[in-house]
Chains A and B, each alone.
Chain A
Amino acid sequence: MDTMRDRFATVMARLLDEDPRVAVVLAEIGRDGFTDAARRHPDRVINVGIREQLLIGAGAGLALTGMRPVLHTFGSFLVERPFEQVKLDLGHQDAGAVLVSALGSYDWPAGGFTHMSPGDVALLDTLDGWTVHVPGHPDEAETLLRHAVGAGDDKVYVRLSVQSNDDARPVDGSRPLTVRRGGGGVVVAVGPMLTPVLEATADLDLTVLYATTVRPFDARSLRAATESAGADVVLVEPYLAGTSTPAAAEALADVPHRLLGLGVGRRELRRYGTMPEHLAAHGLDPAGLRERIVRFLDAGRPRPAGGRTAR
């Protein structure tokens, strides 16, 4: 199976052939995947060198001339390092672009913290008008990349990772899918967290929603799920814990609810190693998820009071 990044290169090569508005801008990272495409479209596959402020600024300039720029590098260098360019050159200038990141929160733990960007989606949440796609499988990455490039002049972030679910699902670029129905609460699994969530909750009476488009946050779908399953809600995100907690809280603002946001911790682990080790350290492996989800659900159940069984 190819990775999401492999798929990014093949999909973009096709989109470059199909749509003369499309331009891919790179900052060295990922250039090998575009060798053939660059030969066919030398003016629309642009490598600016190791210059991430220019990556975003030039993308904005391309957009202002009518192009549909797709900008790619690791998340740390795409969103965090040139954040003011993202805010001003795209946001304030009202210029659209598709930002496609790689490495995510811990795709390359041996590379250390400099190559991790657990805060990317939270940072984009400080800005207006961003669509955020978090595919959980290379096939979904292809669907969502096409969706992103085809979204007019929208500002879209696509977060690619080597972490992948076992199977692809028919994602549509806007609404979450209901993967399982239950009556004891709702778990929203984002992108590649679905497989560990399904394993962690296999014998629990929960509705599982699968979200790959997290911004705009689909409040209506979450609200509808809580109407049948109850308003104990767990969010499981592959980036900073709690990133979508405000959006979920807003969706449920006028009904009693309980909310748990699981994801990557803020504290730097200062460990290298492998992705499974980092998932476990952040409590995002099936065992860690199960423990925290069960504890959260139990805490919400009526408890015996004064030695007598409640109700």
Chain B
Amino acid sequence: MTATTTRHNGDAYADLPRLMALMTGDEKHGPAATSTLDVLWVLYDRVLRVSPERARDPERDRFLLSKGHGPMAYYAVLAAKGFLPVDLLSGFGSYDSPLGHHPDRTLLPGVEIGSGSLGHGLPIAVGEALGLRAQGLTGPAVWVLTGDAELDEGSNHEALAFAGPAGLDRLHAVVVDNSSATHARPGGIAARFEVAGWSVATADGHDHEALYEAFTRPHPGRPHAVVARVRSKNA
């Protein structure tokens, strides 16, 4: 366990921009780089039952970063939580580094999937929820993070249309909505999950208490989606 993780949580959160700067070279980060930061922080700090020691525990919660581009916030949170050493961050994207501009699960313990091509996380998460259920592992939760524009990919709709009727109640999706989809209608994301039988909550994607409440809302018998609304990437 690194020194970072033993700090007070507020201090650890406050340290995330410094960790991201080790990758980006700049302490100031625009909305695109930080759109997922608070969602990731609240999940890893307060919701997910996983730790570096439990990275291979069958009973762990699984977090799948489906929106793999712009992973600096993800790596910063993983470093803050002790999944990877802080001194790896400065090698971001280099030939000998395990930290790519899209993550690779085979290079980093604690990273559940490699991502980069959009629309792969939710179908894999469905399979993990099915696999855990088939093995009688009813405790672990499966979480997947997508972007709002990522939902353009039809593969997501195969997965979400199946998961609701299949009653995959250990499956959770967080859609970080930065209004980046070119063709979208207001409320469209929540409506699509709802019509497929999911429980849905919408929260301010930078409000930690609102996110925590949305993440932990009971959803018996149904998968749960949280639409986390953040500033537009063009703001």
A44 is an interface residue with CB less than 8 A from chain B? yes
User: Which B residues are in CB contact (< 8 Å) with A43?
Assistant: 130, 133-134
Task: Map CB proximity to A onto B56-84 as digits: 1 under 8 Å, 0 otherwise.
Answer: 00100000000000000000000000000
Let me know if B130 and A58 touch, CB within 8 A. Answer: yes
- Distance in Å: Cβ of B112 to nearest Cβ of chain A: 7
Q: B128–A64 contact, CB under 8 A?
A: yes
- Looking at chain A, what size class is its interface with the partner chain? 20 to 34
Nearest B-chain residue to A42, judged by Cβ: B134
Indicate which residue in A23, A44, A62 contacts B128 across the interface (CB closer than 8 Å). Answer: A62
Tell me how far the C-beta of B126 lies from the nearest C-beta in chain A, rounded to whole angstroms.
Answer: 5
Interface residue? A109 (CB, 8 A)? no
A153-176 interface bits toward B, Cβ cutoff 8 Å, 1 = contact, 0 = none: 000000000000000000000000
Indicate whether A85 sits within 8 Å of B155 (C-beta atoms), given known contacts A54-B126, A57-B126. yes
- Which residues in window 156-176 of B have CB below 8 A to A? 158-159, 161-162
Do residues B135 and A54 form an inter-chain contact, with CB atoms below 8 A? no
Among B117-125, B181-189, B192-200, B204-212, the stretch in contact with A: B117-125
CA A96 to CA B201, docked complex, whole Å: 35
- B132 interface residue per 8 A CB criterion: yes
Closest CB of chain B to A17's CB: distance in Å? 14
Restricting to B70-112, which residues have a CB under 8 Å from any CB of A?
Answer: 104-106, 112
Q: Which A80-108 residues sit within 8 Å CB-CB of chain B? A: 84-85, 88-89, 92-94
CA distance A20 to B122 in the complex (A): 25
Least Cβ–Cβ distance between B68 and chain A, in angstroms: 11
A44 to B, closest residue via Cβ? B134
Within the complex, which residue of A44, A62, A84, A94 is in contact with B127, where a contact is CB–CB below 8 Å? A62
Whole-angstrom distance from the CB of A94 to the nearest CB of chain B?
A: 5
B129 at interface, CB cutoff 8 A: yes
Measured CB to CB, the closest approach of chain B to A128, in angstroms, equals: 13
Contact B127–A57 (Cβ < 8 Å)? yes
- Number of residues from B at the complex interface, CB < 8 A: 31
Interface flag for B113 (CB, 8 Å): yes
Residues from chain A with Cβ under 8 Å of B112 in the complex? 64
Q: How far is the CB of A73 from chain B (nearest CB, A)?
A: 13
CB distance from A92 to the nearest CB of B (A): 5
Contact across chains for A65 and B158 when beta carbons are under 8 A apart = no
Shortest Cβ gap from B97 to chain A (Å): 18
Q: What residue in chain B is nearest A46 (Cβ atoms)?
A: B130
Q: Assess the B123–A64 pair: CB atoms within 8 A.
A: no
Residues of B with C-beta under 8 A to A60: 123-124, 127
CB-contact partner of A62 in B106, B130, B161, under 8 A: B130
Q: Is A48 an interface residue (CB 8 A)?
A: yes
Q: Is B154 engaged at the interface, CB distance under 8 Å to the other chain?
A: yes
Contact (A65, B135) CB under 8 Å given A46-B130, A58-B127, A93-B114 = yes
Closest to B137 in A: A65
Contact A49 B162 (CB under 8 A): yes
Interface assignment of B139: CB less than 8 Å from any CB of chain A: no
Best-surrounded residue of B120, B127, B133 (most CB of chain A within 10 A): B127
> B128 to nearest A CB, angstroms?
4
Residue A289 lies at the interface, judged by CB distance under 8 Å to chain B: no
Say whether B158 contacts A89, CB under 8 Å.
no
Given contacts A57-B126, A58-B126, A85-B123, contact A67 B162 (CB under 8 A): no
**Bound Cα distance A94, B114 (Å):** 10
Contact B117–A94 (Cβ < 8 Å): no
- Which residues on the A side are within 8 Å of B25 (C-beta)? none
A69 to B128, CA, bound (A): 11
B150 to chain A minimum Cβ distance, whole angstroms, is 14
Does A191 count as interface, using CB distance less than 8 angstroms? no
CB-contact partner of A66 in B58, B129, B155, under 8 A: B58
Instruction: Tell yes or no: B218 within 8 A of A by CB.
Output: no
* In the bound complex, CA of A89 to CA of B120 (Å): 7
The residue in chain A whose Cβ has the minimal distance to the Cβ of B140 is A65
Q: Are A65 and B131 in contact (CB under 8 A)?
A: yes
Chain B residues positioned under 8 Å from A92 (CB to CB): 104, 114
Q: A53-B155, A88-B117, A92-B114 are in contact. Are A61 and B124 (CB under 8 A)?
A: yes
Chain A proximity of B65: nearest CB distance (Å): 13
- Interchain CB contact (< 8 A) of B158 among A54, A62, A84, A93: A54
Across-interface contacts of A57 in B (CB, < 8 A)? 120, 122-124, 126-127, 155, 159
Seed contacts A60-B124, A65-B128; 20 additional CB < 8 Å A-B pairs: A20-B135, A23-B134, A46-B130, A48-B158, A49-B161, A51-B162, A54-B162, A57-B127, A58-B124, A58-B126, A58-B159, A58-B162, A61-B128, A64-B124, A64-B131, A65-B58, A67-B134, A88-B114, A88-B117, A94-B105
Seen from chain A, the residues whose Cβ lies within 8 Å of a Cβ on chain B are 20, 23, 43-44, 46, 48-49, 51, 53-54, 56-67, 69, 84-85, 88-89, 92-94
- What are the 4 tightest A-B residue pairs by CB atom distance, in nearest-first order? A61-B127, A57-B123, A65-B131, A58-B127
Q: List 6 A-B contacts (CB under 8 A).
A: A43-B134, A48-B158, A51-B162, A54-B155, A58-B127, A61-B131
